Structure 1
Amino acid sequence: MSPTPTVRPAEPDDADAFAACHLACWEEAYSTLWGAERFEDMDVARLAARRRKEIEAGVADHYLVESDGQVVGIAIAGPTRDEDPQADRELYAIYVREAHQGSGIADALLAAAIGDGPASLWTYRDNPRAAAFYVHHDFIPNGAERTDSEGILEIRMVRR
């Protein structure tokens, strides 16, 4: 029996595995929403280099969860980037590999990344699974909307 996966801060040496998990989660979550052509431009090495620099510089807090030696979940959080801040802390990303969803890993990642205090995040409007997860953790849409670089609508959710 394998040990219970635990959340830990990511180190620069984790950047490759962190990026590989991040990209795999994007493919699992957004393959139909984004389309194959968006994934063609993605490069794990480039994403890993970016994550390594961010981790080394302390630009944002990076967390990961390993199971059987594989990174199966990641989270990134830091100061809000919004021009009209709704909270001091923002969840930039949280992803768990499909095979591990529903296991409590996302709950643990969220707690590590932003605690239980006020925070904000942006999520795709047409992502009901993510929205349900955030509502379960007391986030509510606050009416703000924006589009990502591909024109997909995102909504802001806030926890007071």
Structure 2
Amino acid sequence: MTTWQETYTDLLPAEFFTEGHSRQRREMWARILSEQRAEWSIRVAESDGEIIGFAMAGPVSLWVAKQNPRAMAFYRRNGFRCDGTEKRDPGASAITDIPMVRP
């Protein structure tokens, strides 16, 4: 949740970052991380037994906020390109998500 706050605090209202939203995100990621899928590669970083970060990768594509040019530049440097579509997250309507793919 801290990452979201640091990245999107200028795009989302303060009331977006509630304990309820944080709990919902933790539950969502707990479900995703507990599912074993051959096409996903998941890595978890720990420090002193506490999870401090994780990464998940799967076949080809990723979603990035259009309003996050730093992330988009990082993905472009690593071979990803925008596919031309976009969508709005109903829970974060100020953010436009775009898929990036690696040919």
SS, match of residue 155 in structure 1: strand
AA matched with 1:121: L
Deviations 1:31-85 (A, max 9, x none): 11112111124234x433433333333255432223565544322234xxxxxxx
Matched, 1:158 2:75: no
Give the equivalent residue in structure 1 for 2:74: 133
CA contact (8 A) 1:141 1:158 kept: yes
AA matched with 2:12: W
* Count of equivalent residues: 98
Matches within 5 A, 1:74-153: 74-78=54-58, 89=59, 119-149=60-90, 150-151=92-93, 152-153=95-96
> Distance between the aligned counterparts of 2:61 and 2:68, measured in 1?
17
Q: TM-score under structure 2 normalisation?
A: 0.74
Give the equivalent residue in structure 2 for 1:64: 44
Q: Which runs of 5+ in 2 are unaligned?
A: none
- Aligned-residue Cα RMSD (Å) equals 2.3
Matched, 1:54 2:56: no
Structure with the greater relative contact order (CA < 8 A, sep ≥ 6): 1 or 2?
Answer: 2
Structure 1 stretches of at least 4 aligned residues deviating more than 4 Å after TM superposition: 67-70
SS, match of residue 32 in structure 1: coil
Give the equivalent residue in structure 2 for 1:100: none
> Distance between the aligned counterparts of 2:98 and 2:27, measured in 1?
29
